[in-house]
Structure 1
Amino acid sequence: MPKAIRIAAILLLVLAALLMVLAFGLGRRATPAPEDMANKPASTGVPKRMLVVANKDLPAGHPISAADLSIAEMALPPANGYTAIADVDGRTPAMNIAAGAMISAEQLLQGIAVGIKPGERAVAVPVDELAGVSNRVSPGDYVDVFMSLQSPAASGSGQANPQARLLLSRLQVLGYGNADVGQARPASGEQDNAVGATAPEPGSRAETIASRDNRGSTSSNGDAAQARSAILAVPVQDAGRLLLAAHSGKLFLALRNPGDTGLADEAIFATPAPVLAVRSNLEGAAEAAARPENRAYAGIDLNALAGDNTTRAPAAAANGAEPQRRRAARPASRQGIEIIRGTTPSNRLSSP
């Protein structure tokens, strides 16, 4: 074999070996090792989103303002966090939130307390089918509260003098029975109507058992619908009136259109006298007594609630009220002895 052919064959063999080594290296680099697959971070592949985070440390119990929040890009599942600052503005943390941390629903206060406006209190009142508009009231509705009350002055005299009037206007219902405002309601029949379930054969024992279960379920749902209490958002200065009326009389809820904003004008009626009098030797006490919290602290009694203001009774008599009738004084009798027999004037005899 010529020497040139032998050298070419050797070069080809060396080139083939180099190509094999190069191919093996590229194959190992393209296929990741099992250890690398196990240590691969779980967040890889999760798209990043713009979420609401805290600009500073947020202590529990203090409302959050928009200035305390900002938007940051974070790689989290779609179910976590808020995407708009308006959804968190005004909410109250249930725990301390560190600066830079994402704001989640679990960190904020929940329940009906979130829906109470400043200056309002959540007050529960008893209701039944008649007082609750045949149980047509739902959380979030607006109602007027009417009061039926027996006058305490008439009760003391043994006379029946009941009264009924509007007590409070346009109160929001925060809860009715077991339902609260903002609470999701399960769809009716969601558990009973299973997908793919076949109806029992008519006349069979299975149909009898199913109809008996349906009657029991309907009865239990009817009992659950009979609410015993309603939670109303009441201005703090009116909470005492509502509680006293519920204790001494009966309350009736009247549903109203949410767009109807008409209210009773209390300024044209006499203000009920409070239980506690304002101290006259304190400067600015009269102005401070007009604050809603101080009006609630001053309280109200049953006479004032019923409109029987005993302190104004003498003034009413002096302003033209009919005075109590008294027997006319007898005229001076003539000198002598007067003998009266019976009740008619014809039987009256006089002697000089």
Structure 2
Amino acid sequence: MGRRILAILTAAVIALVGAVLVLVYARGADARAVAAASPTKVYVSNTVVPAGTSLRDAVRLGQVVQTDVAARAKPLGALEKVDEDNSDLVALTDVQPGQYVLAAAFGDTPVGEKKLQIDPGKLAVSVQLQDPARVGNFVTPGSYLTIFMTYQETPSGGAGDGADASTGIQKTSVLLDNVKVIAMGDASLTPVQTTDGDGAEAQSASFLVTLQVTPEDAVRLVHAINGRTLYAALRGSELKISPTLEADDLNISKVAAQ
């Protein structure tokens, strides 16, 4: 009788140990499955990212967006984050839409040469821009600019560079914002001749850029090229500029004091 009880107890213990082992294994398998399927952050391309476009601008313009993918499905070398360490890197070649973005696709300098690429529905307009602050040294294809225009506005409300300085008011306003540079002229930063107040010729830096604009903005830009003085400002990524921002001879001190 005692042997039967002992055998029963032994069988019960073995069964309990087996159940515990099966439970532990099952939980481990579940944990491994969850770890393999757990989402991780990667970037995918929404549209073509042209060579020379910085990671910062690609994210700002929605050319690349962050998405979740299972850890086991994440491509080797996929771009996982954009921060201060890599945001200034530029696309080495065109990144095609609908694919995982690889970190190796971005570096310091684009490779190879290519023809001018213009996005559908856009125009390329070349313009010689004044550059007294030497910002042209840092403008490259893929940069974004804000274009300002300065002109004489007559008391009646008309405007023109030929207005009488004794009766006209000089005004500066925003012409175009967030304009993409798609090419730089070979003659960039070429000094051009200007005349100072004493009638003497002086050197003023300028640079030739080709901008990508909509047809509507192209008309405004071409008109301004032929009748205004244009200046360019290299644009930061986190910036909002009011299209009504302006200054003239009467309010410049107030604007500067704000």
More helix by share: 1
Larger Rg belongs to: 1
More strand by share: 2
Instruction: Tell me the TM-score normalised to structure 1 length.
Output: 0.28
Instruction: Tell me the TM-score normalised to structure 2 length.
Output: 0.38
